[in-house]
C-alpha cells in the first residue's frame, strides 16, 4: 500500500468495488434533486391557488 506522500494511490480492480463514496454522493444528489422538485411543485401549486384567491377578492372589491 502506498503512502500519500509517495504519490497517487494504486487502484486495484477491487478498489472500485470497495469504494462506495462516489455512489453515495450520487445517491444524495438524486435525493436532493427529488426534494427540490417536490418543493418547486408545491410552491407552484400554492402560488396558483393563492393567485386565484386574490383574483376573486379583487373582483369582489371592484364590484363593490
Per-residue pLDDT of the chain (64 residues; tens, 9 = 90+): 555 555 566 666 666 566 667 788 899 999 999 999 999 999 998 988 898 899 999 999 988 6
pTM of the model: 0.53
**What pLDDT was estimated at residue 61?**
92
**What pLDDT was estimated at residue 9?**
61
Distance CA 29, CA 38 (A): 14
Torsion angle, CA of 13/19/28/8, rounded to 10 degrees?
A: -90
Domain chopping of the chain, boundaries: 21-63
Amino acid at each position: 500500500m502506498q503512502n500519500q506522500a509517495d504519490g497517487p494511490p494504486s487502484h486495484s480492480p477491487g478498489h472500485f468495488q470497495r469504494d462506495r463514496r462516489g455512489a453515495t454522493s450520487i445517491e444524495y444528489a438524486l435525493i436532493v434533486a427529488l426534494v427540490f422538485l417536490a418543493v418547486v411543485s408545491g410552491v407552484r401549486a400554492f402560488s396558483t391557488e393563492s393567485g386565484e384567491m386574490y383574483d376573486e377578492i379583487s373582483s369582489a372589491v371592484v364590484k363593490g
